[in-house]
Amino acid sequence: MKNYLQEQPKARERKNKNRAIGNVIMERYNIQIDKAMMSDIVGEILNYDRVWRKILEDYPDLRGSDYGHKDKLEEETINTLRTL
């Protein structure tokens, strides 16, 4: 993602975030789809993620068994994202 942002200055604008993420995903997984549609899909995914997090914050009984391992999971995710 860092390389993409360095190579594509327009992607640095917040208004272009969904499209930029979509472009990276399309390239990484060799997906052929209309870029506007991919941008909409990314936006919807990000919205669902926010809703999911809010629900789990408001209803702790719905949390999975891995919630006690946040620090370890964050570290693994950060390491994985650094390789992208």
Residue range 5-55, pLDDT digits in tens = 999 999 999 999 999 999 999 999 999 999 999 999 999 999 999 999 999
Q: State the burial class of residue 19 (Cβ atoms within 10 Å of its Cβ: 0-12, 13-18, 19+).
A: buried
Q: Say if residues 18 and 39 touch (Cβ distance below 8 Å).
A: yes
Q: Say if residues 37 and 58 touch (Cβ distance below 8 Å).
A: no
Q: What pLDDT was estimated at residue 75?
A: 86
Q: What pLDDT was estimated at residue 67?
A: 79
**Angstrom distance (rounded) from CA 67 to CA 64:** 6
pTM reported for the whole predicted model: 0.75
Q: What pLDDT was estimated at residue 22?
A: 97
